[in-house]
Amino acid sequence: MITYLPGKQPHAREYRMIFQNIDRVDYDPSIDCYLKNGGYEQLKKALKMAPKDITEEVKKSGLRGRGGAGFPTGMKWTFIPPNNTKPVYLICNGDESEPGTFKDRYILHQDPHQLVEGMAIAAFAVGAHTAYIYIREEFPAAAEIVEKAIAEARAKNFVGPNILGSGFDLEIYVHRGAGAYICGEETGLIESLEGKRPYPRIKPPYFPAALGLYMCPTIVNNVESLCHVKHIIERGGDEYAKLGVARNTGTRILCVSGDVKNPGYFEVEVGKLTMRELLYDICGGPKDGRSFKAVIPGGSSSKILRCDETYKIKNPDGTTRDLGFWDIPMDFDSLAACGSMAGSGGVIVIDDSRKISWVLNNLNSFYAHESCGQCTPCREGSMWMKKISDRIVSGDASPKDIETLESVAYQIDGRTICAFGEASSWPVEAIIAKFREELVAETDPANEHKAHNPEAEAQQRFLVTK
Ligand SMILES: Cc1cc2nc3c(=O)[nH]c(=O)nc-3n(C[C@H](O)[C@H](O)[C@H](O)COP(=O)(O)O)c2cc1C
Ligand code: SF4
């Protein structure tokens, strides 16, 4: 029987697979502990399979990436050009930089061998002999723990030359991140790994599976995604696909933060839980005397949802039906159908004690700080959006500022090298669309005639001249 630390007992609605060993009393990150718990058995099994059959099982499992975009993992692996003669690389994205997301770090700290085993299987499937784990700069302890795990795995020949006599060679290296949000974007990450500034590359042509690290085919997958690979091999793709719901299979770790009674991480079957069940049954509902106002369901880049909304959803037969906010199943397709996304699984809850202008300004401050600066709309626009929301928060904005803010967001969206442009503008677009009245109520038309800063004052520049 598995015993968890006091206060860390999984909720009855959870299905622990990836997080099975997290917060266990009798578990540590050593290889001895991992082996005692059946570790590396799936690698042994996988090494006896044909690499293409492993990819086939991953395809059958329906696994979708847990890093943000929800792209089918098995399909991504097949994008390596068939006539490729260059080395293939596997990269594990351990940057975990999306605000609201806190799951990968627990795997890195408490169960690193689960990741090493998942990576070894994935590397074998895609034909990579060199793999990297890119670990966020802010996780120095995780980097040491994972380095130790790789050394232990190497000593037992689960990593290194001729793994377990299979003829398959694999080296895994830890690469410490450069400490920026954009290092989590896969092409920025690749640049950083090459020793350069993490300036994202333009797609096309730089889709990593074709032109990735050192211009060679590269598979980039999230920590959680790679851990799933081991469980797919254990159960078989078809059996794994029975977890969750159609097209949204398996389990995923939802990280709930913000204004709920019991925030935390919860591994659940994808789509088996509604928003209500997550926030009330698992997270205990709103704090005393408060009510829920809005939820950002998939990390800070996803569009905000109001708790009083109803959505028109398309049925498979082309008809439509109404779906209320509280009944949204927590899966990729349902959240997309409601105009947001499941993203990285970071569910940020906002109650009626928060002004939406504060939320908006908090998000804008983050994105203005993190833009890499390559694209003009993103570099300038993210700062403009922050400046405008600064004014809303300080009571210096005019109603026209809301229009300007909205127009700036739409001029970033779709006009940049990487998806950071959407990550920074979607929250603004959605907050304005859904909370326009609340924002306008915080403005004053008289502010149109005020200068926004000492320089504008000196030059007598105003939004509207009296
Ligand atoms: C601005 C930005 C930041 C991102 N940060 C992360 C991150 O911290 N971790 C992550 O796994 N994916 C992140 N992604 C997504 C990656 O680019 C990539 O899609 C992902 O690592 C692929 O893994 P998956 O298919 O297993 O989800 C980010 C994307 C963008 C646009
Ligand atoms: S969209 Fe922003 S973060 Fe992405 S490349 Fe352009 S400037 Fe950099």
Same domain? 236 vs 113: yes
Mean of all residue pLDDT scores within the chain = 96
CB 272 within 8 A of CB 254: no
Ligand 2 pocket, Cβ-based, cut-off 6 angstroms = 182, 200, 371-375, 378-379, 416-418, 420-421
Query: Is residue 14 one of the residues assigned to a domain?
Result: no
pLDDT digits 0-9 by tens, 302-314: 999 999 999 999 8
Same domain? 58 vs 114: yes
Domain final position from 242, 263, 296? 242
State which ligand 1 atom lies nearest to the alpha carbon of 96.
8
Same domain? 224 vs 301: no
Same domain? 111 vs 202: yes
Q: Structural domain tally of the chain?
A: 3
> Where residue 341 sits, what CATH number does that domain have?
3.10.20.600
- Backbone phi, psi, residue 3, to 5°: -110, 130
CA–CA distance, 290 with 400 (Å, rounded to integer): 32
Q: What is the dihedral of CA 104, 100, 176, 178, to 10 degrees?
A: 160
Query: Is residue 136 one of the residues assigned to a domain?
Result: yes
Same domain? 221 vs 126: yes
Query: Is residue 317 one of the residues assigned to a domain?
Result: yes
Indicate the pTM of the whole model.
0.96
Q: How confident is the model at residue 465 (pLDDT cuts 50, 70, 90)?
A: low
If you search the block for the tokens 């203005």, which residue do you land on? 368
Query: Does the structure show a pLDDT above 90 at 351?
Result: yes
Q: What is the DSSP letter of 281?
A: I
Mutate which of 89, 98, 223, 420 for ligand 1? The one with the most ligand atoms within 8 Å of its CB, which is 98
State which ligand 2 atom lies nearest to the alpha carbon of 182.
3
CA 33 to chain centre: 29
Q: Residue 97: CB within 6 Å of ligand 1?
A: yes
Same domain? 231 vs 148: yes
Q: What is the DSSP letter of 209?
A: T
pLDDT digits 0-9 by tens, 140-195: 999 999 999 999 999 999 999 999 999 999 999 999 999 999 999 999 999 999 99
Same domain? 142 vs 167: yes
Task: Give the strands of the sheet with 264-269, arranged side by side.
Answer: 264-269, 251-258, 346-351, 292-296, 305-306
Q: Residue 104: CB within 6 Å of ligand 1?
A: no
Query: Is residue 344 one of the residues assigned to a domain?
Result: yes
pLDDT digits 0-9 by tens, 11-47: 999 999 999 999 999 999 999 999 999 999 999 999 9
Position 458 scores a pLDDT of 85
Mutate which of 222, 363, 374, 418 for ligand 1? The one with the most ligand atoms within 8 Å of its CB, which is 222
Q: What is the DSSP letter of 279?
A: I
Query: Is residue 21 one of the residues assigned to a domain?
Result: no
Domain final position from 193, 214, 242? 242
Q: By C-alpha distance, which of 61, 412, 100 is closest to 239?
A: 61
- Backbone phi, psi, residue 41, to 5°: -65, -35
Position 299 scores a pLDDT of 97
Same domain? 342 vs 367: no
Q: How confident is the model at residue 466 (pLDDT cuts 50, 70, 90)?
A: low
CA–CA distance, 189 with 86 (Å, rounded to integer): 20
Query: Does the structure show a pLDDT above 80 at 332?
Result: yes
If you search the block for the tokens 């927590």, which residue do you land on? 330
Query: Is residue 459 one of the residues assigned to a domain?
Result: no
Same domain? 341 vs 437: no
Same domain? 154 vs 60: yes
CA–CA distance, 181 with 137 (Å, rounded to integer): 10
Query: Does the structure show a pLDDT above 70 at 400?
Result: yes
Range of the domain at 323: 254-351
Q: How many beta carbons lie within 10 A of that of residue 449, not counting itself?
A: 12
Position 374 scores a pLDDT of 97
Position 404 scores a pLDDT of 96
**CA 36 / ligand 2 centre spacing (Å):** 46
End-to-end alpha-carbon separation of the chain, Å? 75
> Where residue 184 sits, what CATH number does that domain have?
3.40.50.11540
**CA 420 / ligand 2 centre spacing (Å):** 6
Q: Residue 71: CB within 6 Å of ligand 1?
A: yes
Query: Does the structure show a pLDDT above 90 at 209?
Result: yes
Query: Is residue 6 one of the residues assigned to a domain?
Result: no
pLDDT digits 0-9 by tens, 362-389: 999 999 999 999 999 999 999 999 999 9
Position 126 scores a pLDDT of 98
CA–CA distance, 296 with 427 (Å, rounded to integer): 9
CB 96 within 8 A of CB 68: no
Same domain? 232 vs 275: no
CA–CA distance, 61 with 78 (Å, rounded to integer): 15
**CA 357 / ligand 2 centre spacing (Å):** 24
Query: Is residue 62 one of the residues assigned to a domain?
Result: yes
pLDDT digits 0-9 by tens, 235-273: 999 999 999 999 999 999 999 999 999 999 999 999 999
Same domain? 176 vs 273: no
> Where residue 361 sits, what CATH number does that domain have?
1.20.1440.230
Three-state secondary structure call for residue 174: strand
CA–CA distance, 187 with 409 (Å, rounded to integer): 23
Q: How confident is the model at residue 460 (pLDDT cuts 50, 70, 90)?
A: confident
Domain final position from 242, 274, 293? 242
